[in-house]
Amino acid sequence: MAGLIDRRRLIAAGAIAAALPAPALARGVWEMAALDGFRELARALEVKGLVVLHRGDVLVSDGEVAAADRIASCRKSFLSALFGIAVRDQKIDLDQTLAQLGVDDYQPLSAVERAATVRQLLTARSGVYIPSSAETPAMKAARPARGSHPPGTFWYYNNWDFNALGEIYQRLTGRSVFAAFEHELAGPLGFQDFDPEQHARFGYDPDAPRFPAYNLWLSARDMAKFGQLYLQQGGWKGHQLVPADWVALSTRLVSRTGRAGILSGYGYLWWGDMDPHASGLPPGSYTAAGNGGRYIVVMPAIDTVVAIQPIELEGRPQARLYTEEGALDRLLKTLVAARRG
């Protein structure tokens, strides 16, 4: 059986169960030694759970892939999918304004701010710059002065936009974000490690109580299924869970972020690579990204999905994958280099 990837090496602690596709043999596609190097680099970068799918099959499963951990801002890409479903069902009009929807905050919005549309919130271009739940220190430091940019004119990674979208979704669909997540995504995709009573919680900030963050805890193997759904243009086992045109629209990059590689562009709650010629990543690659090193990377050009949960260490909660400049791109390029041809 020389040349075949050893199945035992693909299935580590917390192995993926039968609900994910069977492990890929991938004869002639991947170099075994190079994949070993990819795993070793991931471990060195303090990755806790790592799953790679190629053409829907499990190529790599390493670490605690069944542990349901916080996904941080990866939650926003799941919300994007829910918006796409609601748009298809004609429950949400992306060009409605905050004023038309009656959305306001405890710090009242100005007339200019209330002219922001749902579409502008989805692309982080609302122009509303007030405190929000789950802001990191870096987000607070980067927040523009209030009133400095009209809606639609400037990109800023803005938790006010993202949290207000949760309220807008619930108001227009009549369902909570968590109920919709379970019904539209977790259930149909067969998430194995998600417990709605334990792994879905609102996060409130006393300085910004109006719109809570909608926090989720997921395992790497369940995160990989969501990436596979997008790789398959929203289709899953004969059902179109997310409209294909929404997958295309939401992952089309609208803004440059000032960052490099796969985080250099931003679409509708998804990050992506604005310049693959410079980054060396496959063209069209995009990712959900969460604070601390949580990622769901989709690389359509090579039919590959990568899901990552990082180690959280006592006294140093952010893994090297997150803190070292360019580490994610380096890890992904190591994987791409393991392909033959």
Residue 42 to residue 49: CA distance in whole angstroms: 9
Asked, for residue 56, whether it belongs to a domain, the answer is: no
Q: How many helices (H) and strands (E) does the chain have?
A: 14, 13
DSSP string computed for 48-78: EEEEEEETTEEEEEEE-TT--EE-GGGHHHH
Given a contact cutoff of 8 angstroms between Cβ atoms, the answer to whether 76 and 329 are in contact is no
Asked, for residue 335, whether it belongs to a domain, the answer is: no
Given a contact cutoff of 8 angstroms between Cβ atoms, the answer to whether 296 and 224 are in contact is yes
Residue 20 to residue 220: CA distance in whole angstroms: 12
* Count of domains for the chain: 1
Residue 44 to residue 130: CA distance in whole angstroms: 38
How long, in residues, is the chain?
Answer: 341
Residue 188 to residue 237: CA distance in whole angstroms: 9
Asked, for residue 45, whether it belongs to a domain, the answer is: no
Q: How far is CA 88 from CA 83, 135, 246, 247, 341, in A?
A: 9, 31, 9, 12, 39
Q: What is the CATH number of the domain that holds 217?
A: 3.40.710.10
Q: Say how far residue 25 (Cα) sits from the centre of its chain.
A: 27
Given a contact cutoff of 8 angstroms between Cβ atoms, the answer to whether 151 and 116 are in contact is yes
Residue 152 to residue 279: CA distance in whole angstroms: 28
The pTM of this model reads: 0.91
Given a contact cutoff of 8 angstroms between Cβ atoms, the answer to whether 211 and 130 are in contact is no
- Which domain covers residue 81, as residue numbers? 65-294
Asked, for residue 307, whether it belongs to a domain, the answer is: no
Given a contact cutoff of 8 angstroms between Cβ atoms, the answer to whether 44 and 334 are in contact is no
Asked, for residue 71, whether it belongs to a domain, the answer is: yes
Asked, for residue 299, whether it belongs to a domain, the answer is: no
Looking only at the bridges linking them, the beta strands covering 47-54 and 57-63 are antiparallel
Task: Determine the residue type at 159.
Answer: N
Task: Determine the residue type at 116.
Answer: A
Distant-in-sequence, close-in-space partners of 170: CB < 8 Å, separation ≥ 6: 176, 177
Residue 273 to residue 285: CA distance in whole angstroms: 6
Asked, for residue 52, whether it belongs to a domain, the answer is: no
**Cβ atoms within 10 A of the Cβ of 32, count?**
15
Q: Say how far residue 144 (Cα) sits from the centre of its chain.
A: 24
User: What is the model's pLDDT at position 202?
Assistant: 87
Judged on CB neighbours under 10 Å (0-12, 13-18, 19+), 320 is middle
Q: What string of pLDDT tens digits covers the 341 residues of the chain?
A: 333 333 333 333 333 333 344 344 454 689 999 999 999 999 999 999 999 999 999 999 999 999 999 999 999 999 999 999 999 999 999 999 999 999 999 999 999 999 999 999 999 999 999 998 888 899 999 999 999 999 999 999 999 999 999 999 999 999 999 999 999 999 999 999 999 999 999 888 777 678 999 999 999 999 999 999 999 999 999 999 999 999 999 999 999 999 999 999 999 999 999 998 888 999 999 999 999 999 999 999 999 999 999 998 766 668 999 999 999 999 999 999 999 86
User: What is the model's pLDDT at position 310?
Assistant: 97
Judged on CB neighbours under 10 Å (0-12, 13-18, 19+), 252 is middle
Task: Determine the residue type at 49.
Answer: G
Residue 264 to residue 54: CA distance in whole angstroms: 24
Q: Give me 15's structure tokens.
A: 């192995």
Asked, for residue 93, whether it belongs to a domain, the answer is: yes
